[in-house]
Amino acid sequence: MSRRHKGRDVNGILVIDKPQGLTSNGILQQVKRLYGAAKAGHTGALDPLATGVLPLCFGEATKFSQTMLDSDKAYIATARLGERTETGDSEGSVVENRPVPEGLTADVLEPLLDRFRGDIQQVPSMYSALKHKGRPLYEYARQGIEIERPARPVTIYSLELLAIRDNEMDIAVKCTKGTYIRSLVEDIGEAIGCGAHVVALRRTLAAGFTLADAHDVPGMEAMRERDESLDGLLVAPDAALSMFPEHRLSGPVLVSILNGQAVRIEAQLDQGYVRVYGNQDFVGLAEAFPDSEGTQLVPKRLVKTGGRL
């Protein structure tokens, strides 16, 4: 006997301003209950310490969660100088204290920060969710087990010093996926010579969404108490896929791609993912393979409804 999914069909993306102290999954379950949704997921965990932009996917939009996870991110972080913690943030115990260099000004910091701009190699924190033999690294760390982690390439598009105060500094970072701000702050602290850890972290950009797009749970709960529908807060999945070019199909090729079949078109498209539309409706993502005679479009992630969300 097949299991019945509890909840209603809800399709789209909701951008949440995650509060401090809750896990990403914790806020996801709260919002899922508010919608009474059958299927939902988030697009990459934020630490309980962190706040800010967290896109949540419902129904058909969950097909694009990995693509959203792969997007660039931006953060504002506050670093405490002179203290290193076991986790790289204020949730861990202090393991080392060192004096902050005297005369630490923006002019002194700029050349140090410049080392971390552009393409860099970064060793992930042992307290990250990266997996080793099927288990997240933080589980090993909590048992006192150190796992060797190879450095990974990441790109820091921008790293701006916003403020410096005694033993704290605020920085703004825009970076590729997989960048660990805790590790970045720790490395900057070592470059300064005193160590550092994160005491506040706010994500300001994810999957093309900013804080201006975000909603908070108390506001949504107030809407429910007023018997107002929350569905109007949702946006369609293609709102998170604007980094890919679009192409519109009609006729037999549209029917074929909706049936999951690769199609050939005369247009010359660049190789890579393409947002496919039929009439006014979003169909899904296809991968384009151009050649001398046109382009082959191979469907990758299609919405079951043919685009009507």
What's 180's DSSP letter?
Answer: -
Retrieve residue 289's tokens.
């393979």
Q: What is the mean pLDDT of residues 249-263?
A: 93
45 has pLDDT over 90: no
Structure tokens at 239: 């709102």
Count of residues making up the chain: 309
Q: Is the pLDDT of residue 31 over 60?
A: yes
Q: Read off the tokens for 104.
A: 């630490």
Average pLDDT value for the chain: 91
Nearest CA to 45 out of 67, 63, 26 is that of 26
Mean pLDDT score, 161-179: 96
Partnered with residue 75 across adjacent β-strands are 173, 203
| Tens-place pLDDT, residues 200-232 | 999 999 999 999 999 999 999 999 999 999 999
Distance CA 99, CA 79 (A): 15
d(CA 305, CA 258): 9
**Is pLDDT at 91 greater than 80 in this prediction?**
yes
pTM of the model: 0.89
Q: What are 149's two structure tokens?
A: 């982690």
Residues with a catalytic annotation lie at 47
Integer Cα distance of 154 and 151 in angstroms: 9
